[in-house]
Amino acid sequence: MTRKPAAVLLVLSLAVLALALIPAVGLAAKGGGGGNGTDHGGGGGAGGTGSANSGCSVSPSQVALDQVWTVSAWGLPTSTVNMILTFPSGDKVTGQISVASGGTSTFTGNSNMSAGWGFIAPEQTGTYTYKFVGKVSWPAGTYTKLYAQCTVVVS
Q: Is cis: bond before 77, omega within 30 of 0?
A: no
Q: What superfamily does domain 6-154 belong to in CATH? A: Macroglobulin (MG2) domain (2.60.40.1930)
Distance CA 105, CA 28 (A): 10
Contact between residue 54 and residue 41 where contact means Cβ atoms under 8 Å apart: yes
Q: Going residue by residue through the chain (155 aa), what tens digit of pLDDT does each one get?
A: 444 444 333 333 333 333 333 333 222 222 333 333 344 444 433 333 456 799 999 999 999 999 999 999 999 998 889 999 999 999 999 999 999 999 999 999 999 999 888 889 999 999 999 999 999 998 888 898 999 999 999 99
Distance CA 86, CA 97 (A): 15
pTM strictly above 0.75 = no
Contact between residue 133 and residue 105 where contact means Cβ atoms under 8 Å apart: no
Residue ranges covered by each domain of the chain: 6-154
